[in-house]
Amino acid sequence: MGYRVVVAGATGNVGREMLNILAERQFPVDEIAALASRKSIGTEVSFGDKTLKTMDLDTFDFTGWDMALFAVGSEATKKYAPRAAAAGCVVIDNSSLYRYDPDVPLIVPEVNADAIMGYSKKNIIANPNCSTAQMVVALKPLHDRARIKRVVVSTYQSVSGAGKEGIDELWDQTKSVYNPVDDKPAKKFTKQIAFNVIPHIDVFMEDGSTKEEWKMVAETKKIVDPSIKVTATCVRVPVFVGHSEAVNIEFEDHLDEDEARDILREAPGIMVIDKRENGGYVTPVECVGDYATFISRIRQDSTIDNGLNLWCVSDNLRKGAALNAVQIAETLGTRVLKKG
């Protein structure tokens, strides 16, 4: 016997990817429902070798469904997630709405799977921010060995993190650069994204940081350890899919680069590609469509007593969103619901 699974937001980038990954990983599904907003009702989406027609999220009855993977944004989540949860359907939410709620577990299964037992307080589980998810997969095994004091991270985040509008804007602007009569001003982003980088993701906060940077700080503390100090600079770059991060880590104990490399090679969800030669590292182009978080450029930081640098790359639509949500569903199934 398998699960009755709902995917809400099934016509968006992340929703479609959730359906793909559920099929790829042969998640034990008895029945699946693809939901979308009223304007997208009847849109066809793929689930393995099947084609599903989307149904109306607004009128859907969640009673009798085991779990719902939400990829609909915070406003719609605020309306529909409590409705699903009250009907006994466990919500796995990809928006930022519940991430900082102390009664909602924020889960990256390779890092803090045990925290999933806290789902029962609200029948909701939160999926972290895409840039946080890939970083904490790398931090956790190193933290277990040498205890992390401080992390300094600079991100290079692809436009797919801003949805279809972000992808379209990069595509259209890139083409318009070569056509002097085709001007494509910035709409989704605050400045031109084609052939440019923008040190601004989400809204600005009072202290000068952006909300994206604040998310990385707060979520790392909640998922890994509240004592870790984190400072982040988040940058949008003209890449379609795949987030990259330059991560500087300061430890309480000494950890040399060779041991760190060995630890990361053995860690779940990580692939180490670290050769000190031309091309001996991973870039976003190579990570697209892959489940792994790739780690390269592991080296000592000689400016502090116990420091390491590394380069972290992952498909943000997968590990940063859809894959992590499906992994949460798998964890929920094996540890709690125990069907299939």
**Is 102 annotated as belonging to a binding site?**
no
**Is 26 annotated as belonging to a binding site?**
no
* Residue 243 designated active-site: yes
Q: What is the DSSP letter of 230?
A: E
The span from the CA of 8 to the CA of 29, in Å, is 16
**Is 12 annotated as belonging to a binding site?**
yes
**Is 316 annotated as belonging to a binding site?**
yes
The span from the CA of 98 to the CA of 2, in Å, is 27
Q: How many residues does the chain have?
A: 340
Tokens of 147: 């205890």
Of 89, 234, 243, 312, catalytic: 243
**Is 236 annotated as belonging to a binding site?**
yes
**Is 297 annotated as belonging to a binding site?**
no
**Is 300 annotated as belonging to a binding site?**
no
**Is 78 annotated as belonging to a binding site?**
no
* Residue 200 designated active-site: no
3-state secondary structure of 170: helix
The span from the CA of 113 to the CA of 132, in Å, is 16
User: Angle 257-266/130-146 helices, nearest 10 degrees?
Assistant: 120
Of 89, 130, 287, 312, catalytic: 130
Which stretches does DSSP call E strand in the chain?
3-8, 29-36, 44-47, 50-53, 55-56, 67-70, 90-93, 124-126, 148-157, 229-236, 243-251, 270-272, 293-300, 307-314
Cβ atoms of 64 and 4 within 8 Å: the answer is yes
**Is 180 annotated as belonging to a binding site?**
yes
Binding residues for NADP(+), as ranges, are 11-14, 39-40, 160-161, 180, 316
Residue positions forming the annotated binding site for phosphate:
99
Q: Which residues are known to be catalytic?
A: 130, 243
Q: Which residues are annotated as a binding site?
A: 11-14, 39-40, 99, 157, 160-161, 180, 236, 316
Residues annotated within a binding site for substrate: 157, 236
